[in-house]
């Protein structure tokens, strides 16, 4: 059975931190990493995100560069906002013959108990990568038997930082790959 790490996100834009994390988990744990593009994250409704179809196109182009990365658009056919538990149910129905696990930042463990049907999410293995924000305290769920801590690289990069740099005409090119930079410039997403 093929093992797949599900990497959920709005990826607005996808950056070298995402890429390093996906590379790490691919090398150490999974046969494939699927980037599950979230059209509408319930935690980002007020902040807003870029057009979902443009973000999907960006991730599709990114995944074309690595045959072990897949772009998953399953949430585009689900009710909005998108909830991880609902997506997991749908993925398991649609894709047989895969063993699915979740790739998640440690910061999400602090709020996971507030997520819709979080106990169903905890029925899956959750591979956790460290976040710089959490070096002083640990989440309660860190000791759950399905939570697996990793020593993935800690990246001090965020999509919001990149968007701000683009809006303020600051250098951001070292934070994203060349093909994503070209995509962002050609589509004028954050200008």
pLDDT digits 0-9 by tens, 64-114: 999 999 999 999 999 999 999 999 999 999 999 999 999 999 889 889 999
User: Does residue 183 register a pLDDT over 90?
Assistant: yes
Residues 172-188 as b/e (b if ≥16 CB within 10 A, e otherwise) read: beebbbeebbebbeeee
* Number of independent structural domains in the chain: 1
**Alpha-carbon torsion (93, 126, 75, 2), positive or negative:** negative
More confident residue, 148 or 49: 148
Euclidean distance between CA atoms 147 and 89, whole angstroms: 19
Range of the structural domain that residue 106 is part of: 2-187
For the segment 27-46, the average pLDDT, to the nearest whole number, is: 90
pLDDT tens by residue, 129-146: 987 655 545 777 888 999
State the greatest distance between any 2 C-alpha atoms of the chain, in Å, as a whole number: 47
Contacts of 169 (CB under 8 A, 6+ apart): none
Residue 5's SS3 state is strand
Q: What percent of the chain has pLDDT over 90?
A: 77
Euclidean distance between CA atoms 157 and 176, whole angstroms: 10
Entry pTM: 0.94
CATH number at residue 40: 3.40.50.620
For the segment 141-161, the average pLDDT, to the nearest whole number, is: 90
For the segment 23-32, the average pLDDT, to the nearest whole number, is: 98
Determine the pLDDT at residue 172: 92
Euclidean distance between CA atoms 99 and 186, whole angstroms: 37
């Amino acid at each position: 059975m093929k093992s797949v790490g599900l990497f959920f996100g709005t990826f607005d834009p996808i950056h070298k931190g995402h890429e390093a994390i996906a590379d790490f988990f691919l090398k150490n744990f999974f046969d494939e990493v699927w980037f599950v593009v979230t059209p509408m994250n319930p935690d980002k409704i007020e902040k807003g995100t870029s057009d979902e179809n443009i973000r999907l196109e960006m991730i599709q182009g990114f995944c074309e560069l690595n045959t072990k990365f897949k772009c998953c658009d399953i949430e585009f056919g689900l009710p909005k906002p998108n909830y991880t538990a609902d997506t997991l149910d749908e993925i398991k129905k649609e894709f047989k013959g895969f063993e699915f696990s979740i790739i998640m930042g440690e910061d999400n463990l602090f709020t996971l108990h507030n997520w819709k049907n979080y106990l169903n999410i905890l029925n899956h293995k959750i591979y956790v990568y460290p976040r710089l924000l959490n070096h002083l305290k640990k989440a309660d769920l860190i000791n759950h038997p399905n939570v697996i801590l990793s020593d993935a690289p800690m990246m001090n990069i965020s999509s919001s930082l990149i968007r701000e740099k683009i809006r303020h005409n600051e250098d951001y090119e070292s934070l994203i790959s060349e093909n994503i930079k070209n995509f962002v410039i050609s589509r004028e997403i954050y200008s």
